[in-house]
Amino acid sequence: MRISRRRFLGWMGAAGAAGALPRAARAASNKVFEGYAGSKAVLHDITRCIGCRKCEAACNSVNALPKPEKPFDDLSVLETKRRTTAEAYTVVNQFTPQAAEAKRVYVKKQCNHCLEPACASACFVKAFTKTPEGPVVYNPDVCVGCRYCMIACPFDIPAYEYHKALDPKVMKCTMCHPRLLEGKLPGCVEACPTEALVFGMRDDLIRVARDRIQSYPERYLDHIYGEHEMGGTSWLYVTGTAYAQVGMREDLGNTAAGQLTSGALSAVPMVVGLWPVLLTGIYAINKRKEKIAAQEQAAAVQAAVEKVQAEAAVKLKAAVEKAEKEKAAAIDREVKKALADAAKEKEDKSI
């Protein structure tokens, strides 16, 4: 059964006091997590990406997302740096490195599916989960819309459905988790014509990346992005251009988000427990404001209608009086004309 946000807040509002009792924060841990054995990942070889946007088209189709304003074969969108949105789980951006006569570089951006996700670490209702298969998935049935995940993500990925007022969700790439469970490839990987995207066991892909770096040192930097960043991710990158020059952060360090937030989250269980109460109060205040606004609007509409009706009655009365006066004047003119004609006819007969 799907639990609406309204019902959730109603239930949790009554239970808020109980939730305020001291307890350990479940959203994070200070233990080092090195990933699930056999976890899957994707290796993005930036040197092979040609910016064709076929990965975007495949993602759109697989996830049944709304079609973009410009078709996927329109490469003019690459001239503007884009980020993922609630309607586009992956985007390809174009960069021109600072080196002289450097060629354009294309980089695919999507959720990096961290081994210890910052979004999951910040979420006190466990709406985000790292699966044994590799993807980080989202459960909208328990989400309360706090959007802490959006603030926590170091890669600026989760996007909120602001255009949906009744039941908005946090949207992001799922690494096509349902397809993985069926033994299929992620849609973007399957559609890539240059093998810039490779899917497989994370450990195997790290070995593949290292082999490429060692075999072609003139082509690649000696660094696999995502192997250790933020404790490691399930989306790995190799490139021949400085990562900072292709829109990727180099200031994240290797500490997982869970280790960074475990102390802070465990120190504020009361805030976490009272959060639903706060949301319920805000919701009640907003509903009261909406009710008062609706009443004021209804009163204003009624007053406007009465004013229009009054003005219409005055105009109608004036029009009727004017018509009666014109009618009386017309009758008077006709009577006078008839009398004049009769007098003239009498005069003509007497001559």
Query: Mind listing the pLDDT tens digit for each residue in 289-307?
Result: 778 888 888 888 888 888 8
For tokens 């490691």, the residue is 232
SS3 (DSSP) at 25: coil
Task: Collect all residues with Cβ–Cβ distance below 8 Å to 300 and sequence separation of at least 6.
Answer: none
Q: How many Cα atoms within 13 Å fall on the side-chain side of residue 286? A: 7
Q: How confident is the model at residue 14 (pLDDT cuts 50, 70, 90)?
A: very low
Q: At 335, which helix (H) or strand (E)?
A: helix 269-350
Question: Please, is 124 exposed, middle or buried when counting C-beta atoms within 10 Å of its C-beta (0-12, 13-18, 19+)?
Answer: buried
Question: Under a CB-based contact definition with an 8 Å cutoff, are residues 195 and 189 in contact?
Answer: no
What is the phi/psi pair of residue 335, to 5°? -65, -45
What is the phi/psi pair of residue 234, to 5°? -95, 10
Range from 5-9, 21-25, 79-83 that averages highest in pLDDT: 79-83
pLDDT at 19: 45
Question: Under a CB-based contact definition with an 8 Å cutoff, are residues 127 and 142 in contact?
Answer: yes
Question: Under a CB-based contact definition with an 8 Å cutoff, are residues 238 and 213 in contact?
Answer: yes
Average pLDDT over residues 27-41: 68
Q: How many Cα atoms within 13 Å fall on the side-chain side of residue 220? A: 22
Give the predicted TM-score (pTM) of the model: 0.68
